[in-house]
Amino acid sequence: MLALVFLGLLATTDAYIWPSPKLDALESLRFDLDRHSFASLLKPCDLFISDGSNSGRSNAADWIRNAYHDMATYNNADGSGGMDGSIRFAEEQSRAENAGDGFKNTAKVLFQEANRYISVADAFAIGAIMAIENCGGPDIAFRGGRVDAAVANSPGVPEPEQDLDSHIASFARQGFTPTEMISLVACGHTFGGVQRDPFPDIVPEVNDANNTESVLHFDTTNVHFDNNVATEYISGTTQNPLVVGFNDTTNSDKRIFGSDGNVTMRSFANDPTLYASTCAELFARMLDTVPKGVQLTEVIVPLPVKPDGVLFSLDGDTLKLSGQLRIWNTTNGSRTVRLLWDDRVGGANNFTLFSLKVNNNAPRTPAAWYLFAPTPPRTSFIPLDPVAGMTTMRFSVDGMLEDQGGVGFAVDDRVVFSESSCRTSASSTNLAARYDVAPFNSQVRNGVNPTRVYLEEDTFNDVPLSVVIETDIPPPTQPIVPNPAYKIWSVEVSVNLTNPNDIIKYSIGAEINGVKITDNGKHILTDLPLCPGVSS
């Protein structure tokens, strides 16, 4: 009883305090589906790659299998393997236990969402959760903080021709009991099926214009989460190729589902709610099976009121603030939302935000978005006095104060992008630009003496692992002072594109009193205007 009460409390009180760049990014990828292009690949649920619904395959099924195969290398005995993104390596993809191109397809999409805050393994976990939740499944608790492996794991994914004892041993190594094995296979195999190309001995050519890759599906609703995998199995009508395949050696689902005398499968067939809750728990455990030493975050729940993309930039003697505010779980975009803020000179200020849209795209829950812009939006920013700047935001929603229980929403205006940045070359392949950065001027006001200011490029090394490449911006020899508050530091960067479609973007970073800060901006090189005197 006590334990239940405690759990109930946890579920309602563990929202984190904004800003927390890693949690902000994970929360956004988990909940703001309309912000991330991968989510459109699940609409509709039978979509495969970006444009096909007639292949017999689906992104949703690929992404779920991808997560299981990433995890299935886990070894309970020494804590090695597990969800660590190692399925992205060609070495793992080329093993017989990982037959098919589903892993390559999945990595291509979900890799795009990874960065310094979101590991590839976290992106894989979120992809699987989104596939399940969007396509009829239960809510799944998500924790972040998976760490990407630098090398392939030892093999360990079960294969259909192995016998029951091997499968029981394999799931035990992964941390699951024989009953949990039955459940987890039944939960995974509500999606997708077996394809002919990687499994020609299991699947014949089906000659169906709506199933061009010849996939025999595990149940009749193979892009929808439901207990049909169990009802069809128990009623004896199943077409599951791993149950009724002509070669009994590869009928692994038949051996697994029947291994407890059908007790588990019958309970799932009789009770769709039990099936869904069991799957929600086991999927979460599967995704949270990580190498020893990896510390996952608390379960990430959506912030009720969340600033997003908050960014300062300096335009001469105007300090511009751009950003958005998300109000979770509402369809009402007509509230009066004010940004109230404290500044560096003791002022109390407010600005009424522009109602942008109500987004019904979130997995289940609608959200209303308000833009840091006037109504009607004559600009896409709030103009500030650079001397006063801004230290803490609060919001008032129809007069109700939202300030994270009194702490407010802290912002950092000490080192900002300057809009005097410009391209020094008009070439489309040999890109060159001058980036101007404006540290708050310590000669005017006490405060800021950055030891370093630099551009940050969020990228991947050859492994591939996420890395941030820093390009130092030297202090100016002759201070350029656009206004009384800031001075300008600048650096010229030059990049030769190997792929003309690559987009080069930088964040602004600085080290102040030994602490690194970043604006998390995405200052795109080709979006900069040409410098004076440069012709296109």
Ligand X SMILES: *[C@@H]1O[C@H](CO)[C@@H](O)[C@H](O)[C@H]1NC(C)=O
- In the complex, which residues of this chain contact ligand X (CB under 6 A)? 161, 201, 208-210, 233-234, 236, 247, 249-250, 258, 261-262, 329, 332, 334-335, 338, 340, 350, 365, 396, 398, 430, 494-496
478 interface partner picked from ligand X, ligand HEM, none, CB below 5 to 8 A per type: none
Residue 513 CB partners (closer than 8 Å, separation 6+):
none
Q: Is-contact 238 244, C-beta < 8 A?
A: yes
Least spacing, CB of residue 362 vs ligand HEM, in Å: 23
Give the residue from 334, 341, 333, 339 showing the smallest Cα distance to 357. Answer: 333
- Smallest distance from ligand X to CB 151, Å: 30
**What, of ligand X, ligand HEM, none, does residue 65 touch, CB below 5 to 8 Å by kind?**
ligand HEM
**Minimum distance from residue 85 beta carbon to ligand HEM (Å):** 17
Pick 61 or 110: Cβ nearer ligand HEM: 61
Smallest gap from residue 472 Cβ to ligand X (A) = 16
Which of 213, 470 has the CB closer to ligand HEM?
Answer: 213
Nearer to ligand X, 274 or 495 (CB): 495
- Shortest separation between residue 454's beta carbon and ligand X, angstroms: 17
* Partner whose binding site includes residue 112, from ligand X, ligand HEM, none (CB under 5 to 8 Å by kind): none
CA angle 380, 386, 388 (to 5 degrees): 110
- For 468-492, letters b (16+ CB in 10 Å) and e give eeeeebeeeeeeeebbebbbbbbbe
Give the three-state DSSP class for 388. coil
Supply the minimum distance, in Å, between the C-beta of residue 266 and ligand X.
8
- 429, 500 Cβ separation under 8 angstroms: yes
Cβ-based nearer residue to ligand HEM, 164 or 410 = 164
Task: Tell me which H or E stretch contains 9.
Answer: helix 2-13
Give 56 or 323: the residue with its C-beta nearer to ligand HEM: 56
Closest approach of Cβ 188 to ligand HEM, in Å? 2
Applying CB under 6 A, the residues found at the interface with ligand HEM are 57, 61-62, 64-65, 68, 100, 102, 158-160, 167, 184-185, 187-189, 191-195, 198-199, 252, 286
The angle at the Cα of 457, spanning 456 to 461, to the nearest 5 degrees, equals 130
Task: Give dist(CA 423, CA 431) in Å, integer.
Answer: 8
Residue partners of 372: CB distance under 8 A and separation at least 6: 310, 321, 322, 323, 324, 325, 339, 351, 353, 380, 381, 382
Residue 106 is given by DSSP the state H
82 versus 192: smaller Cβ distance to ligand HEM: 192
Q: Which is nearer to ligand HEM, 229 or 384 (CB)?
A: 229
Q: Which is nearer to ligand X, 133 or 456 (CB)?
A: 133
Q: At closest approach, how far in Å is the CB of 254 from ligand HEM?
A: 11
Can you give the length of the chain in residues?
Answer: 536
Instruction: State the binding partner of 192 from ligand HEM, ligand X, none, CB within 5 to 8 A by kind.
Output: ligand HEM
Q: How many CB atoms lie within 10 A of CB 241?
A: 24
- Min. distance of Cβ 457 from ligand HEM in angstroms? 35
> Which C-beta is closer to ligand HEM: that of 55 or that of 322?
55
For residue 464, whether the previous peptide bond is cis, meaning omega lies within 30 degrees of 0, is: yes
Question: In this structure, how many other beta carbons lie within 10 angstroms of the beta carbon of residue 108?
Answer: 12
Q: With CB cut-offs between 5 and 8 Å by kind, which of ligand HEM, ligand X, none does residue 194 bind?
A: ligand HEM
DSSP 8-state class, residue 43:
S
Provide the token pair at 73: 């290398």
- Residue 184 interacts with which of ligand HEM, ligand X, none, CB < 5 to 8 Å by class: ligand HEM
